[in-house]
Structure 1
Amino acid sequence: MTTFQDDLLPGTRRALLHRIAVAQAEGRAPSLVAAVVREGRTVWHGARTSVDGHAPDQNTQYRIGSITKTFTAVLVLRLRDEGLLDLGDPLEKHLPGTGVGEATVAELLAHTSGLAAESPAPWWERSPGVLRPELADVLGEEPLRHPAGRRFHYSNPGYTLLGALVEELRGAPWEDVLRREVLEPLGLHRTGARPEAPHAGGWAVHPWADVMLPEPAEDLGRMASAGQLWSTTGDLARFAVFLVQGDDRVLSAESLREMRTPAAPPEAADVASGYAYGLGLEVRRWGERLLVGHGGSLPGFLASLTIGVEDDVAAVVLANCTSGPALAAVAADLVGIVADAEPRIPEPWRPLRKAEPSVLELAGQWYWGTYGFGLRLTADGLASLEPLSGNGRRSRFRANGDGTWTGLEGYYAGEVLRVVRRPDGSVDHLDLGSFVFTRQPYDVEASVPGGVDPEGWRGIG
């Protein structure tokens, strides 16, 4: 086992090792390997194995299954950012003749296209991809299960179509585009469509006996963009850093935030469990912590990449068994162990470099009717509007450079905040999506829709 001794406290390292040791032993995994990233650096690596003296390290490849979908989503967002497609475009516009072309690119990314979860028999994960040489073979005669856009229904064929879309617009195989546009720029040299030594073998562990059976490692062919990749904890740790920070050579931080934003209407069971899906990334509530990432599985392998964005801690866990340890829970626990034992130290407070008087005068207390709000200007150049007490609508706003501000989250995401001034230049009120915010509750000196009773505030009697 290799650890990075100077990065975490001894107690934290032991807790991490204990967690993966329990997972490997109770989950009966032939091997289990994990890594933890904090603040952009890999700070811990651990492994447990059933083979004495032969623990896998951060360069040992495992199959990562559906984590491949996140890589494919990155390629699609690159096409969008280059102006080659819009997420609202129907698939037919760019990839005609599939028979399911009414589904939009965004619906395919978010698993709301209505497509079936799997391709027609035989079981695609345990049969050669050459049995499905064309998209029609992947989709089958009845590819749809639901109306497009109505519900979240996870679809492997949907990501096969996205891979074909990438190939169509780039004029090159999905695997070649991925290597050129993502893997090489990010330095993910141990990630690829086929295993390269050293790599783990995939095993099935008997559910009622401590014996194993080797699993076949099939090439998925057309369905590669849904689950083909092999990778390592070292590479996936670097990929996790990219998913948080972005890299302008590959994809901006803003587009990655879009990928992390829930885009699919959750099922009732998902609401209860705190699960949602963005654009190629899962979003999950784990206790009080919000986690993003993706899981993966293929016969013989399990994988999980989990990121606590607010804590700036990520975990990668890989195992070479068909079933056994619940890796999503293991990865979430690894994030929690580090974040709770060694909480993130905030950056020093720093003041605004420049405070424009016309902006500074907006800070302070405002009222929407009788609801009190506070507007605060922060050093990052944003404005934050929050209720003064209790729950209520809150959002941060980004300046547009013309005196208006655009909401970034919650109810006011995308809504425009305007400053309405009197003829003498003084502020009359704030207009937020037509709602009026005044300095006093129903300020008689401000332009309040419907007017204010001239007799003013009064008691009973």
Structure 2
Amino acid sequence: MLPTTEYALLSRLATEQVRGRAPSLVAGVVRDGELVWSAARGFVDGSPPDNDTQYRIGSITKTLIAVLVMRLRDEGKLALDDPIGAHLGQSPFGHLTVAQLLSHTGGLTSEAPGSWWERSPGGDWAELAAGLTPEQLKLRAGKQFHYSNVGYGVLGELVGRLRGSSWLEALKAEVLDPLGMTRTTPHPDDHAAQGWAVHPFADVVLPEPAPDTGAMAPAGQLWSTVHDLSRLTSLISGHTSGVLSADTVAEMRAVATVEDGAQWLSGYGLGLQLARRDGRAYAGHTGSMPGFVACTMVDTESGTGALAMANTTSGVPILAFTLDLIALADQHEPPLPQPWQPAEVDTALLELTGLWHWGPTPHLLRILPNGWLYLAPVGDGGRRSRFRPTGPDEWVGLDGYYAGETLRVGRDADGKPRYLDLATFIFTRTPYDPEAPVPGGVDPKGWR
């Protein structure tokens, strides 16, 4: 990046490391699928950390578990609406759906029964499942957002059952290796940061434990590096390296639930935390385990992403810091749009373009690359959606009011487009065309 941009980012990093009293703090900015800036402050074993130094990433592990679940969905091995009991057997939580566990809307208890799981050696799946009695269902399923670490322990077991291996083996083969995340591991090696608790009233530190959390590991076990976390940040921005389709990543980033407030500022998709600040929307995940905080976030409009990790239990507002890095990068170096150039389109679709009317309301239909369509009212506001082709003269809505709905073209005897049928709404070239099958008919006396 430009020297002025890099200095602004470094200044923010250096200030946060001092203000948050972090033994070390590392960060990076990602654009167009590449790590374009990184820096570090503080020390690990007496030396500055680098892009290969491991930090514990905590709940960012959940996003990687969600990627595995979505791969299973895309392969047809499960449906998001499946009750978890259909795959893991009946239990007090067997009625919760895969989607509810991914989005923390199942009402399952937030923490594993027993001792503080983040600081305790974990048992196996049988032990965890035995502790999930009816009392661990804290809220009615689907009632509201209730963050559940336990839910991702369940999802990790789901992945293992359907893959016939451990969730970790599946993760390495299907996600980590294809993304080049070779330094993301369940345990640290000799080039890793020690996790510390910093005393609130004195500049002294206490080492934090880092046990294997057993069946709860899918909720927060993993360690990673700046380089590796930048690869996950790239995936969240849509540069998936074939691990997922861009459509599936967009589905994960879509809002599934929001905080309980008059105007939501945070929410959750499918394995991704969502945030809004200063009119911008972000997707990614934060992570914390004793001795560590971490974050990866992407601006869903500009595509700029950032990541940060520190080896301190608290003190660094890791989400706000990461969003600041994105804002600084975009402020000092706004991303340039790709040059416009003619697209490869099926010219037979050109006859569908132009003005269509929903009743008396004019809409414009445009062709997008890959045979997609975009339908929107003339002017501001109103219902607007993109549509992906699913067959001859048929498309499915991708977003907005018409997400999941089918758009079909109705033709006259000569094969010319006469109307659009969208979820039973009839769009015509002229308002209430009497030659089209407008529900309720059109007054034969016409306009007056």
The answer, yes or no, to whether TM exceeds 0.5 is yes
Q: Kindly state the Cα deviation for residue 45 of structure 1 after the two structures are TM-superposed.
A: 0.6
Q: Is the 8 A contact 2:385 2:403 kept in 1?
A: yes
Q: Take 1:391 and 1:52, find their aligned partners in 2: how far apart are those partners?
A: 56
Q: Take 2:335 and 2:107, find their aligned partners in 1: how far apart are those partners?
A: 41
Q: Is the 8 A contact 1:371 1:387 kept in 2?
A: yes
1:387 aligns with: 377
Query: Aligned pair 1:428/2:421, yes or no?
Result: no
Q: Kindly state the Cα deviation for residue 314 of structure 1 after the two structures are TM-superposed.
A: 1.1
2:266 aligns with: 275
Q: Is the 8 A contact 1:117 1:157 kept in 2?
A: yes
Q: Take 1:201 and 1:372, find their aligned partners in 2: how far apart are those partners?
A: 62
Q: Kindly state the Cα deviation for residue 46 of structure 1 after the two structures are TM-superposed.
A: 0.9
Q: Which amino acid aligns with 1:218?
A: P
Query: Aligned pair 1:55/2:45, yes or no?
Result: no
Match of 2:327 among 336, 339, 342: 336
Q: Is the 8 A contact 1:247 1:253 kept in 2?
A: no
Q: Is the 8 A contact 2:43 2:49 kept in 1?
A: no
Q: Is the 8 A contact 2:372 2:388 kept in 1?
A: yes
- Partner secondary structure for residue 400 of structure 1: strand
Q: Which runs of 5+ in 2 are unaligned?
A: none
Match of 2:98 among 98, 105, 108: 105
Compared CA separation, residues 157 and 252, structure 1 to 2 (3 A): same
2:241 aligns with: 247
Q: Kindly state the Cα deviation for residue 93 of structure 1 after the two structures are TM-superposed.
A: 1.5
Query: Aligned pair 1:305/2:296, yes or no?
Result: yes
Q: Kindly state the Cα deviation for residue 185 of structure 1 after the two structures are TM-superposed.
A: 2.3
Compared CA separation, residues 451 and 223, structure 1 to 2 (3 A): same
Q: Take 2:124 and 2:342, find their aligned partners in 1: how far apart are those partners?
A: 62
Q: Is the 8 A contact 2:298 2:305 kept in 1?
A: yes
Query: Aligned pair 1:443/2:436, yes or no?
Result: no
Q: Kindly state the Cα deviation for residue 95 of structure 1 after the two structures are TM-superposed.
A: 0.9
- Partner secondary structure for residue 44 of structure 1: strand
2:211 aligns with: 218
Q: Take 1:321 and 1:220, find their aligned partners in 2: how far apart are those partners?
A: 19
Q: Is the 8 A contact 1:395 1:412 kept in 2?
A: yes
Match of 2:224 among 227, 231, 245: 231
Q: Alpha-carbon deviations, 1:163-218, whole Å to 9, x = none? A: 11122222322222222222222221111100012111111112223222221122
Q: Which runs of 5+ in 1 are unaligned?
A: 1-7
Residues 108-127 of structure 1 mapped to structure 2, 5 A cutoff:
108-127=101-120
TM-score normalised to structure 1 length: 0.91
Q: Alpha-carbon deviations, 1:228-262, whole Å to 9, x = none? A: 001111100012223322233x3333322222222
Query: Aligned pair 1:31/2:21, yes or no?
Result: no
Compared CA separation, residues 273 and 50, structure 1 to 2 (3 A): farther
Q: Take 1:385 and 1:216, find their aligned partners in 2: how far apart are those partners?
A: 55
Match of 2:367 among 377, 380, 400: 377
Q: Kindly state the Cα deviation for residue 123 of structure 1 after the two structures are TM-superposed.
A: 1.3
Q: Kindly state the Cα deviation for residue 131 of structure 1 after the two structures are TM-superposed.
A: 9.2
Q: Alpha-carbon deviations, 1:126-162, whole Å to 9, x = none? A: 2222498712355356210012222221101111111
Compared CA separation, residues 456 and 58, structure 1 to 2 (3 A): same
Q: Take 1:174 and 1:401, find their aligned partners in 2: how far apart are those partners?
A: 36
Q: Is the 8 A contact 1:133 1:221 kept in 2?
A: no
Q: Alpha-carbon deviations, 1:405-429, whole Å to 9, x = none? A: 2111110111111222222333322
1:152 aligns with: 145
2:168 aligns with: 175
- Partner secondary structure for residue 134 of structure 1: helix
2:282 aligns with: 291
Q: Which amino acid aligns with 1:406?
A: V
1:19 aligns with: 12
TM-score normalised to structure 2 length: 0.94
Q: Take 1:151 and 1:272, find their aligned partners in 2: how far apart are those partners?
A: 15
Q: Is the 8 A contact 2:92 2:133 kept in 1?
A: no
Aligned length: 447
Q: Which amino acid aligns with 1:407?
A: G
Q: Take 2:189 and 2:107, find their aligned partners in 1: how far apart are those partners?
A: 36
- Partner secondary structure for residue 161 of structure 2: helix
